[in-house]
Amino acid sequence: MLKRKLITLSICLMMLLLLPVVANTLDETYLISSMSRVLIFAMAAISLDLIVGYGAMVSFGHAAFVGLGAYVAAIMSFHYYDDSPLLNLPFMFDGSNQLLPILVCAVIVAAFVAWLTGMISLRTHGIHFIMITLAFAQMLFYLFVSLDNYGGEDGLIMFERNQIFGLDTANDTEFYYLSLLLLVLFVIGARRLVGSRFGRVLQGCKQNEKRMQALGFNTYRYRLTAYVISASAAAIAGVMLANKTEYVDPGLFSWQLSGELLVMVILGGLGSIYGAVIGAFLFLVLEQVFSAYTEHWMALLGPFLILVVIFARQGVYGLVKDRLFGHD
């Protein structure tokens, strides 16, 4: 089973590596840009699945951390070209257009906000947790709508993509490979995390939190740590999304985006890293296909999602994993 799984994953990775070559050969370069978007949303879906699928923390405000990462990238880039200090404070630097420091700043900002909001949110469970995460996301939405210096509800345009190690990120092919590299690191890191002692405790909290507390585990601390890690990962996806579109707006904090990420996780299969990737791919492909026929494409996606929930309780990944991947 393990050998079969490795072969299947190797074939999938090889297909992704060859996609730009094939697209350029067939003069279908739009596929490169479209797949970059899929890879970025797959990262965001993985970050959400860490708390939903493995920790039973159903968040309806996860887009807030994607939005924070995106705005950190756009604002730092804005101040770099505007040559004005962030927050107009003397100890603040003049922004940056380098991807690595922007990623670090995005992770720090998202982790801090997640820690602050998570301390409150994780005092609740179930529907109360869902609603309080939604409330915090909406608060951030209106906060960024009010920031007129950064475009308000009209959003903020990035002058160019962030640079890293001399790569020409303005080139869609090079940006695609950068996104693919980050996704591979996401998958490896997430699988190691859920397979670690920390991940086992988190999954134990999902099954029976009171029993884990009786065994001596501080479940609140474990859940809060997972929440912060998930938010940090979502912020990285947000930075890449801002670079992909070269534009950010408060809609990135909307409950609609949080709902779409949740649908991706459900489609692929809760509690599966590979399922999150499959779910992101399926959702965005179906969006492209259905929207070609009607602007109300969600009316077509809805019945499909219902069928998946009814007949594939473990998502699409659950249908194919025994045949293609072996046991997760």
Confidence check: pLDDT of 236 > 90: yes
Neighbour tally for 281: CB within 10 Å: 20
169: amino acid identity, one letter: T
- DSSP SS3 for 271: coil
pLDDT at 316: 87
pLDDT at 130: 93
Domain range annotation of the chain: 2-325
Q: How far apart are CA 304 and CA 308, in angstroms?
A: 6
Confidence check: pLDDT of 313 > 90: no
For residue 94, give Cα distances in angstroms to 12, 60, 85, 161, 297: 42, 34, 4, 17, 43
Q: If you average pLDDT over every residue of the chain, what do you get? A: 89
Q: Which residues are 248's β-sheet partners? A: 156
pLDDT at 1: 60
Q: What percent of the chain has pLDDT over 70?
A: 93
Q: How far apart are CA 260 and CA 302, in angstroms?
A: 12
CATH 3.40.50 is right for the domain spanning 2-325: no
307: amino acid identity, one letter: L
pLDDT at 83: 63
Range scoring the smallest mean pLDDT among 279-283, 290-294, 323-327: 323-327
For residue 38, give Cα distances in angstroms to 44, 106, 129: 10, 21, 28
132-188 confidence digits (pLDDT tens): 999 999 999 999 999 888 888 899 999 889 888 878 888 999 999 999 999 999 999
Mean pLDDT of all residues in 180-206: 94
Sign, CA dihedral 245-251-256-257, equals positive
pLDDT at 182: 96
79-136 confidence digits (pLDDT tens): 887 766 565 544 445 567 889 999 999 999 999 999 999 999 999 888 999 999 999 9
Confidence check: pLDDT of 276 > 90: yes
